[in-house]
Amino acid sequence: MGTVGDEGGEGGNEGGSEGEGEGGSKKSSLSFDPTAVSIPALDFRTTKFLGLPLPPGLRIEIEPLRLSGWIRRATGEVSLDFEAKFTFTAFGLYRPPSLSVSATLTTGEATGRSSGEGSGVRLCGRGEKLRENGRVALSGVAVVEPVGDFFLDSFLMLPTECLAELKAELELGSSPAALA
């Protein structure tokens, strides 16, 4: 569950005054309780890597720490700041320090820098504006820093960028908002 408030322009106060944002549409703040946001673990049932399911025994738990931002209902634009811990385990025996990931997820375009020296690979994603049924697709690029574990840092080639995508359904009434 979360809260919705009205903001004026770029820097209003949460749940505060109404105002006009860019293009004359009102911007409302969104804030979700991270303990109420459920993101399934990445494992062989839910995730493919290079077109194949993750090998059984490998698992990544995702613990949301923050999910807040704003919405413009008139235009369908949404922007959320997402922070989470990603904890990798292998066969219950290997558990390196958690990865910290922060990204701004948006209905607009998300573009990263070129990944790796000379690779020329650039991560790019595009969200989809909020529809009348409450469905929205958000996209962002996050930098993942090394955690100090030689194996994990080497395997993931940290530091690196990752593309984050979130498909959600927002239930927006005149009071609370829920991320379903």
Residue 158 three-state SS: coil
List, in sequence order, every beta strand (DSSP E) within the chain.
2-7, 27-32, 48-49, 52-53, 58-72, 77-90, 99-106, 109-115, 121-126, 135-144, 160-172, 177-179
Residue with tokens 């235009």: 75
3-state secondary structure of 62: strand
Q: Are 132 and 150 in contact (CB under 8 A)?
A: no
| DSSP for residue 36 | G
78-131: pLDDT as tens digits: 999 999 999 999 999 999 999 999 999 999 998 887 655 555 667 888 999 999
Whole-model pTM? 0.76
Closest CA to 42 of 25, 24, 62: 62
Residue 18 in this model has a pLDDT that exceeds 50: no
Structural tokens at position 14: 């949460």
Q: Encode pLDDT of 51-84 as tens digits.
A: 899 999 999 999 999 999 999 999 999 999 999 9
